A and B are shown apart, each in its own frame.
Chain A
């Protein structure tokens, strides 16, 4: 690693700035896990094919494994460690516990961060691949179970907790919009 292949950057994670020197090759995922001690974000495939490393970048869900840390400077990063409000769990987290929306728990941080993104995207009126009519005049689609399934499909769960995850996201959506 030479000066030209590394750099000093500041990452804004969960509202806190962190200044560190990174090898340009370092992904945001590895920077979070290996440099900042934020191991809640999981590495499932390291190639954008499982969703376990989902975080929020400027409020939108993204996979941290394909995001270079050096290119994440000046962006607001929210990880699973920053989802709860102090000691108070977010309704999505609460619903995952109550409805058993997990088993081994390894995909869970990604599922939860993804669900936060889904709720925001749906609230913004974004259609999905199962939205019957994407034209604006059709209005925003209702957040049915099928809509949740499609929108959450970027988060694989090998234990097969899908049924409970969908229930948890649906319950949290009601709480959040109430």
Chain B
């Protein structure tokens, strides 16, 4: 059996918050009186995430603000070290490698960031930006080869050749995102992790960038991990979808089964709240309450406080991923027991 391209096993990431001992004692007393959360010194951003991604697929990771989807991308790319868990790329373990040993893998996975105004160095020309990546991963290229390659890259993402001597501020948001994509493609990666690449762009420009990404996938056989909160984009673009809630994955399913038959109560609520144009009759399921803080490692299911189907078991026992009949996997006691949706 062939290995999946990326295999994530039980990934956890906790961030240390500023320890209390640095603060003066009077302030510490004040904090303690003000709230009881001051004793916690860790934020649990990822609580045991397991996922595998096959070659050539587009996996969309969706979830609300603070659910850990960006952290997942950063840990995957090696921008953050995981607290525990294992990370495999085509069968070889990569989470414990040194920076030096990880270099060949960095060439195979690239990232496109959310804000194209912050991810390009304002003091470098487009040529320098692209050349930096090419110089690291293709040190054998001659000057002429590099020039040709950069021109080819710019044309392939729909920019003109004379763009290479200009600076990022001379481009619009959509064009900058094209430059970010060109930079990611410059090292011929197998996997591109895109963290909300469309959210800073207007609707008509979003369509342009999304089309470019789909064209590139077809031409180069890329694998995408696409992180977004926009379910309309997911429905269009994904082959498989992972829904995250507060550091855990609650449902993984193919696009068809997720949108036609969502199973997890959170997925149901999320899908019903997208404002749709084609069907105005769908009434949103209103969730009560807000996303709890990640300061405490939850005892049971992370969603139990807002879930309309929660019972005592949900508060006490962490649900595990279970395979459903249509091939999707859901972590929910209510689905497992077949509790009826009211």
**Mutual binders A and B:** no
